[in-house]
Amino acid sequence: MPDYDVVVIGAGNGGLTAAAGLAKRGHKTLLLERHNVPGGCATSFIRGRFEFEVALHQLSGMGFPEFPGPLRGVLADLGVVDKIDFIQQKNLYRVVVPGTMDINLKAERASAQETLIEKYPAEKDGIIKFFDLLYAFCLEAVNVLYMNDPEAGPAKYPLFFQLALKDTQGILDEYLKDQSLQNAVAIYWSYAGLPPSRLSFMEFAMTLWAYLEFKPWHMKGGSQAMSNAICDAFINFGGDVRFNCAARKINVVGGKIKSVITEDGDEISTEYVVSNAGPITTLIDLIGAENCPADELKTLNARTVGLSAFTVYMGFDCDPSEMGIDKATNFICSTTDADRAYRFMKTLDGAEYSLLTCYDVDDPDFSPRGACQASLVTLQYMQPWLTVPPEKYYDAKYRFADKLIDLAAKVFPDLRKHLEEAEPATPLTHMRYLGHPGGSIYGSEHFTRETGMFLQSKSMIQGLHFTGAWNGSGGFQPTLQSGASAARQVSRLLKMQ
């Protein structure tokens, strides 16, 4: 008898829902996490009197008890929905390019359309047609991707089969002429980590639709509270967890999983591993290329490492209203050109895109009374940070943070006056805490024809399964769902034995 039915490596979103789902189904499961807390990206840390949210700006796919989104189902299945105090964010987002545009959209289709038509009356027809297309496409996508309609095909779902792999920019160009209007509609490209010119319509459309339909949410205690709740559920289902305990090696014999060796040198026998550590780390570092099927390595080679983030976690000595912040989600850019903003993500020259999220707007108790916090983030590739010599890293980090705050201060000029704490995090920080190549927060890049739907969660190595951002789309909803799906898949295999 192996020590465990399944060893789950990594307690990020995907690892947590996979582990909890397996333990709930009665499988003896061990969860290994190299960090000292569960969550991966979905964690918090403390500086001064603030507990800073590391990652979550807006949670998609939750919906309401009477109109549940797919994520609510995943969390309900693990019994954690009632353990988390979800806070609905009133707005979808505000998007500002100082001197060019300032638009606030509510998280509701009719209202968002109306606002856009008011600002761009000449484009009324295009706006209506674009939203009609988005909704019709997403309803087909749900049937094809999630309801697994056995009759799915171009005849039944023409929009899905025609448009899923088209680039988003082409579709924006067809319906919306003004670049600032395109920017207002498509700013969620940043949640997928690629500009509309390189992002499949499927990834973009499903993101915007999921927030419009099921609304954006956050939660009391931040995403760490959700990670803790899922981890508690796992333990209550009988699972074992070891923190500060990285997996160092996965033994594969004859193409099958045999055991996992921890950094403490313990060998744990098992026939199944669910890895949340991403395929590069898992196959190359933990298993070793020499033990991997050539075809799997070939597929891995075809993928590129995705974006990381640069974030300034800021604590302020006042309420948000004193700085003029009255919306939680504020995209602040210095260009309406997404391709240009994306090019800056490969340099240290500053940012042309940023997102300032102030959690206290919708949850006044998020920070201590009379104070508030905001996370100011831009996306960044790791490469430029690797060119900074170690002795210049600290300066480079604060210089970049300064430039980012300058951009946000164009909209909120009093930010600096009230700044009490500021902690910048670079792609190197994310690599250190997550262990992912490039500090990637969305896994590999999902170019138009390499979307998450083509990725296999089951490895060619018998018993090895993947979960998390590297195995589909990045973001909270997809990764939490991917763990639930890995649990179902592995449980089915275990029950067939």
Ligand X SMILES: Cc1cc2nc3c(=O)[nH]c(=O)nc-3n(C[C@H](O)[C@H](O)[C@H](O)COP(=O)(O)OP(=O)(O)OC[C@H]3O[C@@H](n4cnc5c(N)ncnc54)[C@H](O)[C@@H]3O)c2cc1C
Binding site for ligand X (CB under 6 A): 9-15, 32-35, 40-42, 55-58, 246-247, 276-277, 281, 309, 311, 377, 430, 434-436, 441-442, 468-469, 474-477, 479
CA distance 174 to 159: 15
Nearer to ligand X, 136 or 145 (CB): 145
- Smallest gap from Cβ 19 to ligand X, in A, equals 11
Question: Do residues 404 and 310 touch, judged by C-beta distance below 8 A?
Answer: yes
Amino acid at 486: A
Question: Do residues 483 and 8 touch, judged by C-beta distance below 8 A?
Answer: no
Give exposure, 205-237, as e/b (b: 16+ Cβ within 10 Å): bbbbbbbbbbbbbbbebbbbbbbbbbbbbbeeb
Question: What are the tokens at 439?
Answer: 């500090």
- Smallest gap from Cβ 249 to ligand X, in A, equals 9
CA distance 134 to 200: 13
Question: In terms of DSSP bridges, do strands 419-425 and 308-316 run parallel, antiparallel, or are they unpaired?
Answer: antiparallel
CA distance 191 to 175: 22
Nearer to ligand X, 58 or 168 (CB): 58
Question: In terms of DSSP bridges, do strands 6-9 and 272-275 run parallel, antiparallel, or are they unpaired?
Answer: parallel
- Smallest gap from Cβ 41 to ligand X, in A, equals 3
- Smallest gap from Cβ 154 to ligand X, in A, equals 31
Question: Do residues 283 and 14 touch, judged by C-beta distance below 8 A?
Answer: no
- Smallest gap from Cβ 270 to ligand X, in A, equals 14
Nearer to ligand X, 13 or 183 (CB): 13
- Smallest gap from Cβ 320 to ligand X, in A, equals 18
Distant-in-sequence, close-in-space partners of 132: CB < 8 Å, separation ≥ 6: none
Nearer to ligand X, 180 or 477 (CB): 477
- Smallest gap from Cβ 9 to ligand X, in A, equals 5
Question: In terms of DSSP bridges, do strands 372-380 and 353-358 run parallel, antiparallel, or are they unpaired?
Answer: antiparallel
Query: Across the beta sheet with 464-466, what order do the strands follow?
Result: 240-242, 29-32, 6-9, 272-275, 464-466
Q: Taken in order 185, 190, 195, 196, is the CA torsion positive or negative?
A: negative
Nearer to ligand X, 51 or 173 (CB): 51
Q: Taken in order 191, 194, 195, 197, is the CA torsion positive or negative?
A: negative
- Smallest gap from Cβ 436 to ligand X, in A, equals 6
CA-CA distances (angstroms) from residue 496 to 4, 143, 456, 491?
17, 28, 21, 9
Helix axes 109-119, 179-186, angle to 10 degrees: 160
Nearer to ligand X, 11 or 382 (CB): 11
Nearer to ligand X, 33 or 123 (CB): 33
Nearer to ligand X, 9 or 19 (CB): 9
Distant-in-sequence, close-in-space partners of 415: CB < 8 Å, separation ≥ 6: 314, 316, 323, 405, 408, 409
Nearer to ligand X, 311 or 367 (CB): 311
Sequence-ordered alpha helix ranges (H) in 413-467: 427-434
Nearer to ligand X, 120 or 327 (CB): 327
- Smallest gap from Cβ 129 to ligand X, in A, equals 28
How many CB atoms sit inside 10 A of residue 11's CB? 29
Nearer to ligand X, 180 or 429 (CB): 429
DSSP state, 8?
A: E
- Smallest gap from Cβ 327 to ligand X, in A, equals 15
Please give the radius of gyration of the chain, using alpha carbons only, rounded to the nearest integer. Answer: 22
Task: Kindly tell me the burial class for residue 264, based on how many C-beta atoms sit within 10 Å of its own C-beta (0-12, 13-18, 19 or more).
Answer: exposed
CA distance 131 to 205: 10
Nearer to ligand X, 195 or 435 (CB): 435
Nearer to ligand X, 24 or 430 (CB): 430
CA 313, 356, 67, 16: dihedral to nearest 10 degrees?
A: -30
